[in-house]
């Protein structure tokens, strides 16, 4: 059976230093990639310090679903790479998953048609010791929620809360409840062209959230659901992408 080709992109900056280093000693990308150790997946790692941020055309063309964690270096991402990611989603159907502060990343914002800096998009609250979060499944029949019973309890995370300035999702999968009383649309799914994009808010860098099995299960479910069907991909110049008329238009010439 064909493997699902997952690429994990991480900016890999804060995890080189404390206090994040002791939580993710091998980098956040390693912990996220460990979610896909199952033989049904093939995983590539990309970090922002690699040439082309590790996201050459060759890598993108061999990616079914791209998982993206980024934070303080969002604005340093090359515009050409961000656009290549968006193009691969819209034209070829690659899935794109924005994790936590990747909500400020160029690809996610371009795919959603939004533009804002941290603090402009909604509420957030950074507590040094973290806040308890319950991630309630509100679409229990959806493939991305498969195997999650009622909710995922995350002992500590950074609060992201409403109102979030995002387009209404095509499908809302999770709502977070916070110890401090806030709520957040924390699992939002959209169709963009031939591709699917998913925003999943848990994952502040100082807490070991990407080791949590239920979180990894959601990531695996997302990879399975969002990988494009190879049959679906229409090559440019064929079908409706060509400008050839289906009817005789000589009278228009």
Instruction: Look at residues 174, 178, 137 and name the one whose alpha carbon lies nearest to residue 158.
Output: 178
Q: Which residue's CB is nearer to Zn ion, number 79 or number 117?
A: 117
Of 131 and 158, the one with the shorter C-beta distance to Zn ion is: 158
Binding residues among 148-207 for Zn ion as defined by CB under 5 A: 158, 204
Q: Least separation, in Å, of the C-beta of 100 and Zn ion?
A: 6
Residue number with CB closer to Zn ion (74 or 101) = 101
Alpha-carbon distance of 141 to 160, in angstroms, equals: 25
224 bridge partner residues: none
- Which is nearer to Zn ion, 47 or 70 (by Cβ)? 70
To Zn ion, the closest distance from the beta carbon of 158 in angstroms equals 4
Nearest-angstrom CA–CA distance, 169 and 4:
25
Residues of this chain, 67-106, that bind Zn ion according to CB under 5 A: 101
Binding residues with Zn ion: total (CB under 5 A): 3
> Maximum CA pair distance of the chain?
73
Query: Closest separation between CB of residue 11 and Zn ion, Å?
Result: 12
Q: What does the DSSP 8-state code read for residue 62?
A: T
Rounded to a whole number of angstroms, the minimum distance from the CB of residue 160 to Zn ion is 8
Whichever of 69 and 190 has its CB closer to Zn ion, that residue is 69
131 touches Zn ion by CB under 5 A: no
Alpha helices in the chain (DSSP H): 20-23, 28-33, 57-61, 79-92, 106-112, 213-226
DSSP state of 82: H
Strand (E) or helix (H) holding 157: strand 151-157
Among all residues, whose Cβ is closest to Zn ion?
Answer: 204
In the complex, the residues that contact Zn ion under the rule CB under 5 A are 101, 158, 204
């Amino acid at each position: 059976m064909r493997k699902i080709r997952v690429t994990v992109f991480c900016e890999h900056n804060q995890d080189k230093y404390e206090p994040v280093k002791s939580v993710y000693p091998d980098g956040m990308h390693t912990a996220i990639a460990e979610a896909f150790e199952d033989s049904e997946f093939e995983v590539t790692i990309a970090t922002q310090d690699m040439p082309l941020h590790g996201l050459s055309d060759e890598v993108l063309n061999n990616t079914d679903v791209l998982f993206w964690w980024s934070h303080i270096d969002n604005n340093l991402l090359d515009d050409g790479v961000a656009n290549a990611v968006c193009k691969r989603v819209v034209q070829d159907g690659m899935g794109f998953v924005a994790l936590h502060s990747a909500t400020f990343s160029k690809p996610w914002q371009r795919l959603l048609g939004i533009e804002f800096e941290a603090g402009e998009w909604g509420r957030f609250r950074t507590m040094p010791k973290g806040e308890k979060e319950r991630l309630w499944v509100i679409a229990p029949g959806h493939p991305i929620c498969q195997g999650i019973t009622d909710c995922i309890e995350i002992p500590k995370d950074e609060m992201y809360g409403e109102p979030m300035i995002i387009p209404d999702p095509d499908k809302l999968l999770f709502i977070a409840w916070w110890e401090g009383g806030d709520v957040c649309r924390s699992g939002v799914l959209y169709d963009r062209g031939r591709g699917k994009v998913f925003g999943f808010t848990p994952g502040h860098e100082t807490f070991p959230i990407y080791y949590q099995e239920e979180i990894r299960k959601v990531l695996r479910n997302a990879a399975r659901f969002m990988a494009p069907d190879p049959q679906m991909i229409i090559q440019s110049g064929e079908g409706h992408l060509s400008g050839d008329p289906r009817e005789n238009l000589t009278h228009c010439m």
